[in-house]
Chains A and B, each alone.
Chain A
Amino acid sequence: MSENILEVEGLRTHFYTEAGVVLAVDGVSFNVLKGETLGLVGESGSGKSVTAISILRLVPRPGRIVEGKITFQGEDLLAKTEEEMRDIRGGKIAIIFQDPISSLNPVYTVESQLGDVINTHQRLSKEDVREKIAELLQMVGIPEPYVRMREYPHQFSGGMKQRVAVARALACEPDLLFADEPTTNLDVTIQAQVLGLMKDLKTSLGMSMVMITHDMGIVADITSRVVVLYAGRVCEIAPTSVLYERPRHPYTEALLAAVPRIDQRKKLAIIPGNIPNLISPPSGCRFHPRCPYAKETCKEKMPELEEIEPGHLVACYEWRNLSLNGVG
């Protein structure tokens, strides 16, 4: 196996609201290998995005990283000063947000926005910056880069804006890219284009990528390994093909069953109930109130991740006794 670029151990990020402490991320551990695309999946509110912003140390108040260890390229990110973090953000770790419409500043041209990021992290002459911007725009498939870079975001379509956002994130050749549901607000054909683009860029730039999504189709398409999150905890980690064929966690099974399939005419399975209130999460396994296989032990103690075969980790007491259905 190749080496880790990022290791997250026992990360807990809590939000101290007036209603109580929200345990948004509560003991999440995973690793990202050099050059791989890792999927971070789960329902809304499962802690996917909070995990990503915790790694970048951008958790907004009243949130706080309570404990955990984040090691990036052998360095402890939680021990860094704010100034050192600013160099890392955008320089070594970049992130693409969900909404391309609002992730570009409406009052600046594309050129000045991309130039900003480049100037924050690198010392280049004016001409070199311009040339680099043109290259970046070309790379993400924007024709006539020298003309388009002088335009404002409102002169671009949604898909083009997201391409610009991708170019901005890649401006300083980051080693690790977080993509936080980068295609949810785009229509389906543009979605496919942008995903294809990101896949290609990832390979050609040799970076690692963490794709945050709830779309199991995207996961199957571009990831090599998957981390399944539920209510701020990791349920299962496995190589993508293994996860789809032999899921070992009941939640993963339910997630896969909820994906519409064109080749099987059956009613779409839904997962009964809602994601729990994270101020007072259920005792024991967080999934037990919605789990069809839950036993007494599941209500009492929180299961830890255990490695059931090389590279396949599951946090479930019952996995030996279950034969769960995958897809494929």
Chain B
Amino acid sequence: MGGVTDDILMRVAEVFLVFPTLPLILAFTRIYIVAAGSTYWNVLGINIPVGLTIVITILGVFGWAGNARLVRGEFLRVKEFEFVKAAKALGADSRRIIFRHVLPNILSPIIVVSTLTIAYAILSEAGISFLGFGDPNAITWGQMMQESFVDIRIAWWTEVFPGLAVLWSVFGFNLLGDGLSDALNPRLRE
């Protein structure tokens, strides 16, 4: 690491980092809805809402760069540890060093950031839908909140419970990340 491939990947990541995700999603789903052809893709008998797929895809395509940079940074940090040098000096090849010595040591931050990313994605989707830019054909918590917003005075629960669902699932994914990274930490085992 630190070579040409690394340079190229990181420049690409930086390009993705500077894209404003939210306006892109808003624009793309609008374009889709205006130019709507079919509202569902039928894959193996399951109807997949196209607008929601666009939202998810954009969140994914523009969300990887931050995580990639974090993993790279952690990798570079652990790579310099003496046990990596020692492994190399005792005959380990690169594959072994990457998968056996470096990766397990950066698992904690990877897990934490992955679960945070899941939580962030749920939150983003809810926000987008709530603003009315989501896919009207998909049933999501954000969509539910958006649609029942007008009825909030007569049926408050239609607004509150989808909101609580978002809150709890985001919270749950955070806890999951913490728990997993603790469970994999040998210092806390025994």
Q: Cβ of A47 < 8 Å from any Cβ of B?
A: no
Chain A residues within 8 Å of B105, by CB: 105-107
Q: Cβ of A12 < 8 Å from any Cβ of B?
A: no
Q: Cβ of A61 < 8 Å from any Cβ of B?
A: yes
Q: Give Cα A90 to B90, complex, Å.
A: 4
Which of B89, B96, B187, B189 is A58 in contact with, Cβ under 8 Å?
B89
Which of A98-147 touch B at CB < 8 Å? Answer: 98-99, 102-108, 116-117, 120-121
Q: Give Cα A91 to B105, complex, Å.
A: 26
- Whether A120 contacts B85 in the complex (CB less than 8 A), given A105-B101, A106-B186, A154-B187, comes out as no
Tell me whether A120 and B81 are in contact (CB under 8 A). no
Q: Cβ of A288 < 8 Å from any Cβ of B?
A: no
Tell me whether A90 and B91 are in contact (CB under 8 A). yes
Chain A, interface residues (CB within 8 Å), range: 20 to 34
Q: Give Cα A116 to B186, complex, Å.
A: 18
Q: Cβ of B100 < 8 Å from any Cβ of A?
A: yes
Chain A residues within 8 Å of B168, by CB: none
Q: Cβ of A169 < 8 Å from any Cβ of B?
A: yes
Which of A167-184 touch B at CB < 8 Å? Answer: 168-169, 171
Tell me whether A89 and B89 are in contact (CB under 8 A). yes
Tell me whether A116 and B92 are in contact (CB under 8 A). yes
Which of B89, B101, B186 is A152 in contact with, Cβ under 8 Å?
B186
Which of A61, A107, A168, A169 is B186 in contact with, Cβ under 8 Å?
A107
Which of B37-87 touch A at CB < 8 Å? Answer: 81-83, 85-87
Q: What's the nearest-Cβ distance from chain B to residue A150, in Å? A: 11
Q: Cβ of B88 < 8 Å from any Cβ of A?
A: yes
Q: Give Cα A282 to B102, complex, Å.
A: 41
Which of B93, B186, B187 is A86 in contact with, Cβ under 8 Å?
B93
Which of A86, A99, A104 is B91 in contact with, Cβ under 8 Å?
A86
Chain A residues within 8 Å of B2, by CB: 61
A→B interface (CB under 8 Å): 53, 56, 58, 61, 86-91, 94-95, 97-99, 102-108, 116-117, 120-121, 152, 154, 165, 168-169, 171
B→A interface (CB under 8 Å): 2, 81-83, 85-93, 96, 100-101, 104-105, 186-187, 189
Question: Can you list 21 A-B pairs, Cβ within 8 angstroms, ordered by A?
Answer: A86-B92, A90-B90, A90-B91, A91-B91, A94-B89, A95-B86, A99-B82, A102-B82, A103-B82, A103-B83, A105-B83, A105-B104, A105-B105, A106-B105, A116-B92, A116-B100, A117-B91, A152-B186, A154-B187, A165-B86, A168-B86
